[in-house]
Copies of this chain bind each other. A is one copy, B any other.
Amino acid sequence: MKFYDCTIAPSPRRVRIFLAEKGIKIDTVQVDLLTAENLKPPYLGINPRGLVPSLVLDDGTCIDETLAICQYLEALHPEKPLLGTDAKSRAVIASRTLAMEWDGFLRAAEAFRNSNPGFAERGIPGLAGVPAIPALAERGLSGLRGFLNGLEVTLGKNEYIAGATFSLADITALCVVDFAGWSNVKPTDSHPNVQRWYRSVSSRPSAAA
């Protein structure tokens, strides 16, 4: 099994933190997103979507969505659980993780990719030749502010994103908040619970992964 990673990218960082929380080490290959190595052979032969991260099994099967990668790793290494321990907690954590992706990660990517000259023709991850849309960068920024406000409500009720326990939903939200910082959207004084949670999750040793 091989993990295709890119240390500067927000998305594979989620898998690195997940592995660090579990204390697992696996074979890792770096893919250079800056030179678009992910959009050319041989990587496209490994992952036709051109996305990073990928987890490639020994039989060549490519798993390339973070939640799916983490579900597979959790099945192999159940301790410590980061995806729930029964049907309900598993569904809540999956639901919250995906919400962090759609409401947070997508918006951060829209804001960054559609305003950064280096991505002028890479408006969508994994595809070449998609022109940036400046208005979408604005929509992304606005979405990120709404995302932080929503997070504040959630974290005013719960210690962590999906309840009382640290999970993949927190790992995802941490990576979103740091990614949003690339576009200068950051928690403010009106987000005291986000700030409390951010201090907590970003000071875990795994956050350095």
Contact = CB atoms under 8 A, between A and B. Distances in A.
Contacts of A98: 65, 67-68, 98
A124 interface: yes
A136 interface: yes
Q: How many identical subunits does the complex contain? A: 2
A99 to B, nearest CB: 6
What is the predominant secondary structure among interface residues of chain A facing chain B? helix
Interface stretch (A12-20, A127-135, A178-186, A191-199): A127-135
A41 interface: no
Interface in A90-148: 90-92, 94-95, 98-99, 102-103, 106, 123-124, 127, 130, 133, 135-136, 139, 142-143, 146
B146 A139 contact: no
Interface stretch (A21-29, A69-77, A201-209): A69-77
